[in-house]
Structure 1
Amino acid sequence: MRASRLVSILLLLQTRGRMTARELAGRLEVSVRTIYRDVESLHAAGIPLYGDAGPQGGYQLLDGYRTRLTGLTADEAESLFLAGLPGPAAELGLGAVVTAAQLKLMAALPVELRDRAGRIQERFLLDAPTWYREREPLTYLPAVADAVWNERRVQVRYRRWKAPQEVERRLDPYGLVIKAGRWYLVARAGEDVRTYRVSQILDLQPLAEGFTRPEGFDLAAYWQGYLAEFEAKLRWGEAVVRLSPRGLERLADLMTPGVVAAARQTARPPDDEGWTQVTVPIESIEHAMGEFLRLGVDAEVLAPGELRDRLAGAAKVLAERYGSA
């Protein structure tokens, strides 16, 4: 554990430059006193590390000193080759760059780690997009990524779901997120930070003016909040449903994670027929009809009454249609 921490200190100073003992302690989740002892050990080992006192002080490696990747464990080396997704990298125009980086990393690894990392690529493939969906057109993804990286404003023509469908927006692009094979741009428009689907960008013009990214903006935290808010908006109401054992089993394959979680939390003990009653969120009557029809005879909606009546009407039409056939 301590040897790994010493390597981590070297890598942090190599990549970030000067850091205080308190900053190092926060990153490595140890006490400041532990950092002092570690630094003394690095000095004793001959590492060209020096520190300056005062408000602007901190520890820093001697200019030009670089450590080698000998601190990688087998698990760490393997995880690096699992982390790169070839599909998204290619969409960003970085496919060749990722391949070159992996080749350089492979060459720098000791022989025993090189063999294990190579086996990862032979045995595991990460395919991010979901099933039954064609790849979206991503004409402007490289330009969006360039604007995000270089903090440049862009003017876009964007297609949205509500009227007017085509709108013009001047955006400060903060970050890109890939979710289930779809790319989303997180950007400021006016006073609001919003999310835009990259495939819905109809035209994009890079602007000469830059912008200042807000200090402390956390892309991952924003995205989690956005997902929670999006899911909450979808919940129009609730439905009480009886599910057969087979229907309960199929729920995870046919419904969203929120519906599945709600079903598990509200499930009553099975009745005499083995059916389970659950209460789940629904987006709308129309949307819920399509969802529960997918379960066929393995589901019975008890409430709301409007949804039950609509499903009964659909079942009657289907029975008449196939009965006549």
Structure 2
Amino acid sequence: MQNPFKIHFENLWQALHDNEPLNSWSSLLQPALEAAVAAENNGNLVRWSHALEQIKAFPNNANFAIDQASVSASSASSLSEQEKLALTEALKGLHPWRKGPFDLHDIHIDTEWRSDWKWDRVYPHIASLENRTVLDIGCGSGYHLWRMLGSGAKLAVGVDPSLLSMMQFLSVEHFIKQQQPAYFLPLTLEQLPIDKRGGGFDSVFSMGVLYHRRSPIDHIYDLKSQLRGGGELILETLVIPEDYGQMLLPEDRYAQMRNVWFLPNVKELQHWLQRCGFINVRCVDLNPTSIDEQRTTEWMEWNSLESFLDPQDHSKTIEGYPAPLRAVMVCNKPQ
């Protein structure tokens, strides 16, 4: 079986080489990447690779488009109904699809999350991405990477340890006619090199990650280390209403998630960012997650948000905590 990652990484090394101070990353990251994609580390990798091979058998002479509804790639020579069914089956071999939506050859991948809604809340409040280098931590299938490119970024690098997410990213990438400067690293933020001369990115996004970290302050410092002086951090995370208290540390699960740790209120989160040395710290959006934004679909058939809320009172999780409330914080690293 052909290595599904080889060409992608070769293109990445060239892109990083052309972007100082990221040009040292290729030699520093290769051992970690080799370990991350080793087949023996993930029993599903062979099955996912087979699905990707089937997907890549379909034409990629597509027109790539980004609009307010989805990331899409449509071909002038449309597929037959039989071909569309075969492609749909292959794409569903990469279930569950959590972040999107995508439209590929008129197949609508209706992902669990309406990630376009989140982008619409974030984008009006951030610095222009025109000609910027961008890092997206916890990028999932890469939906927001494509939106960043559509907003003018010259290089978008996504980081997520999920090999399934990378397979989904490579599936979408296949249908893009021309090489787009978006790349996926199946690693964690902590595995990325830190350049002593300062970070190499103009914008760093961390959306839906902070509450999964047992040390949120360390996460914020790690994000800061990847930013150049004057660069912008966009941090989106779960918070609690101010009248609930300063911070919530769930006893066990939160909305049925075991890996949820610290949920501050907005003022406390602002204090964390300021204590870590960020300036111009502001909350630009505060939004309760609805069951229309995160839900079960035919592309993610497992339980979703509605199953994790109190059935009698959707203002509470099934454990009795405040229902998911998400804040978008924007701030800058000093020059």
| Shorter-chain TM band | under 0.3
TM-score, structure 1 as length reference: 0.27
Between Structure 1 and Structure 2, the one with more helix by share is 1
Greater RCO (Cα-Cα under 8 Å, separation 6 or more)? 2
Larger radius of gyration: 1
